[in-house]
Amino acid sequence: MPMEFINKKLNKSTKLILTLLLVLACIILTYMLDKGIIGTSYTVRIVRIAVIYSLIGVSMNLVNGFTGVFSLGQAGFMAIGAYCVGIFTIPVDARANVYYLEPISDKIAGFVLPFGVALLMGGLLAALFAALIGAPILKLKSDYLAIATLGFSEIIRAVIANEQMWPITNGSLGLKSIPGFTTLFAPVLISAAGITLMVLLINSSYGRAFKAIREDETAAESMGINLFKHKELSFVVSAFFAGIGGGLLATHLTAIDSNQFKIAVTYELLLIIVLGGLGSVTGTVISAFMISFGKEYLRFFDAAQSIGGWQIPIFRPGLRMVIFSLLLMAVVLFWRRGLMGRKEFSWDGIYNFFRKWPWRFKKLMRGDYKTEAKTKRKSIAAGKAIDSAASKSKRAGRKADKTADREKKKEVKADAE
């Protein structure tokens, strides 16, 4: 089969160099954005939101995409982190101004924490709450987790806005004068560190156990994996980083109130992970950037637009969110794997992707770009590969046929996509 495409691998040192170059490029880009060499302060704002949403998106994907447990509490955990950072980092002299309706509680009035400590505390508090919700529910069918976490995030909002909490949270007035970021490096580095830690976790033996649970709970349990322990672990780690993300968001916005953590935020995050691919970290990051930039640049949808004096009737407030919810539906219905499926970015992947283009082109030139012929050949090849592998037990005949059949179906499906 001269036309069969063979994936090649790059050698390790090349990959290392490429990775270092990529990291360097990111650092330089961050530096240039930070110093205003490229982009405007507007771009910097969007990049900041995008990196924060990448972190929170990956944290959500850890539970939903990698462990297969449906959790919808991200907005609540973010609120905990955000309020932790908000309450404890507002400078003492600014507090009277913020808590003007009801003065801040005496116990915390003079208590200011450094940003890092407050951030960490927010993460830990979110993780603690996650552990408490997860304990009764993750032992049961995890279906209920979706509803319990959704309820939890609404409760958090209710508690924050409640009268008794005013001396601490300032209720519905929200918090302002939160010291903002002085450099773009802070959110970028913190998010990168968080994502890296989660990637390391996913690639560790524990992460493999998560994936096993996602694939088949019964089989995972019979392989000695404690379902509750691992689901709870994944859920708590996810909440921790959602809390950290919320804290970053508070610092980014400098003013927060409980309405910023409505369930719609969780739904937007769901859109990010579904679009990026449930079970792909790089997919999530890419889609977090796409959605963050998209949301900003599509703002014109919400404003009245007119062509030559004629007002186009569909452009009015709310259209943007309708489009995003339609996008979520469209991805789930027609493009379930999203951008990346369960794949991750790899240099080999990129390398082969570009190698494939001339190959595809050549094939097109030969004129045998017929779907049927192609799938047939591919499936025979696939069957053969398995055959040769099974040569030790020789008689794979009928079985291999079956597999080839299945392969063929898969190929057809893949082609149809």
Partner 1 sequence: MQNNAEAKPNVLRVTDATMQFGGVVALNNLNLEVNKNEIIGLIGPNGAGKTTAFNVITGVYPPTNGAIYLNEHMIISNHPQGKMKTLYAGENNGKHNEVKVLTPDRITKQGVARTFQNIRLFKELTVYENVLIAQHVKLKANVLEATLKLNYKEERVMHLETLRLLEILGLIDVKDYVSTSLPYGKQRHLEIARALATNPQLLLLDEPAAGMNPQESDELMHFVGRIRNDFDLSILMIEHHMQVIMGICDRIYVLDYGSLIADGTPAEIQKNPKVIKAYLGVEE
Partner 2 sequence: MDASTFFQNCVTGISLGSAYALIAIGYTMVYGILRLINFAHGDIFMMAGYFTIFAIVDFHMPWYIAIIFVIIATVLLGVAIERAAYKPLRESPRMSIMISAIGVSFLLENSATYLFSGLPRAFPELGFLQKVYHIGDISAPIVTFITPVVTIVILIALIYLVNHTKTGMAMRAASKDFEAAKLMGIEINHIITITFVIGCSLAAISAILYFSPRPMVYPFSGLMPGLKCFVAAVIGGIGNIPGAVVGGFIIGIAETFLVASFPSLSGYSDAFTFVLLIIMLLFRPTGLLGEKIAEKV
List contacts with partner 2 (CB under 8 A). Answer: 64, 68, 70, 72, 133, 136-137, 140, 143-144, 146-148, 150-152, 154-155, 158-159, 161-164, 218, 263-264, 267, 270, 274, 278, 316-319, 321-322, 324-326, 328-329, 332-333, 336
The amino acid occupying position 116 is G
The answer to whether 389 contacts partner 1 (rule: CB under 8 A) is: yes
The answer to whether 380 contacts partner 1 (rule: CB under 8 A) is: no
The answer to whether 219 contacts partner 1 (rule: CB under 8 A) is: yes
Measured from the CB of residue 44, what is the shortest distance to partner 1 in angstroms? Answer: 31
Q: Give the three-state DSSP class for 67.
A: coil
Residue 326 binding: pick among partner 1, partner 2, none (C-beta 5-8 Å cut-off by kind): partner 2
The answer to whether 390 contacts partner 1 (rule: CB under 8 A) is: yes
In sequence order, the 6+-apart residues with CB closer than 8 A to the CB of 318 are 302
The answer to whether 382 contacts partner 1 (rule: CB under 8 A) is: yes
- Tell me which long-range contacts 361-369 makes (C-beta under 8 A, separation of at least 24): 363/3, 366/3, 368/3
Residue nearer to partner 1 on the CB measure, 117 or 390: 390
Residue 216 binding: pick among partner 1, partner 2, none (C-beta 5-8 Å cut-off by kind): partner 1
Q: What is the number of helices (H) and of strands (E) in the chain?
A: 18, 2
The answer to whether 402 contacts partner 1 (rule: CB under 8 A) is: yes
Alpha-carbon gap, residue 76 to 146, rounded angstroms? 13
Segment contacting partner 1 by CB under 8 A, of 100-108, 153-161, 222-230, 261-269:
222-230
Q: Give the three-state DSSP class for 256.
A: strand
Place of tokens 């309405």: 259
Residue nearer to partner 1 on the CB measure, 218 or 306: 218
Measured from the CB of residue 108, what is the shortest distance to partner 1 in angstroms? Answer: 31
Residue nearer to partner 2 on the CB measure, 197 or 328: 328
**CA geometry: angle 292, 296, 301, nearest 5 deg:** 125
Which of positions 73-112 make contact with partner 1 (CB under 8 A)? Answer: none
Q: Residue 311 forms beta bridges with which residues?
A: 306
- Residues that bind partner 1 (rule: CB under 8 A) add up to a total of 41
The answer to whether 124 contacts partner 1 (rule: CB under 8 A) is: no
Among 42, 222, 318, 370, binds partner 1 (CB under 8 A): 222
Tell me the DSSP string of 306-359.
EETTEEPTT-STTHHHHHHHHHHHHHHHH-TTTTTTT----HHHHHHHHHHHHH
The answer to whether 224 contacts partner 1 (rule: CB under 8 A) is: yes
Measured from the CB of residue 304, what is the shortest distance to partner 1 in angstroms? Answer: 48
Among 221, 296, 302, 344, binds partner 1 (CB under 8 A): 221
Measured from the CB of residue 310, what is the shortest distance to partner 1 in angstroms? Answer: 52
Among 12, 107, 370, 395, binds partner 1 (CB under 8 A): 395
* 8 Å CB contact between 34 and 44: yes
The amino acid occupying position 396 is A
Residue 3 structure tokens: 């036309």
Alpha-carbon gap, residue 241 to 249, rounded angstroms? 12
Measured from the CB of residue 315, what is the shortest distance to partner 2 in angstroms? Answer: 11
Alpha-carbon gap, residue 292 to 281, rounded angstroms? 16
Neighbours of 121 (CB within 10 A): 19
Residue nearer to partner 2 on the CB measure, 334 or 354: 334
Buried b (16+ CB within 10 A) or exposed e, 211-228: bbbbeebeebeeeebebe
The amino acid occupying position 101 is L
Segment contacting partner 1 by CB under 8 A, of 124-132, 201-209, 284-292, 314-322:
201-209
Q: Look up residue 111 and give its DSSP letter.
A: -
For the chain, what's the residue count?
A: 417
* 8 Å CB contact between 57 and 284: yes
Which of positions 288-347 make contact with partner 1 (CB under 8 A)? Answer: 342
The answer to whether 415 contacts partner 1 (rule: CB under 8 A) is: no
Q: Which residues bind partner 1 (CB under 8 A)?
A: 197, 200-201, 204-206, 208-209, 211-212, 215-216, 218-227, 233, 342, 382, 386, 388-390, 392-393, 395-396, 398-400, 402-403, 406-407, 410
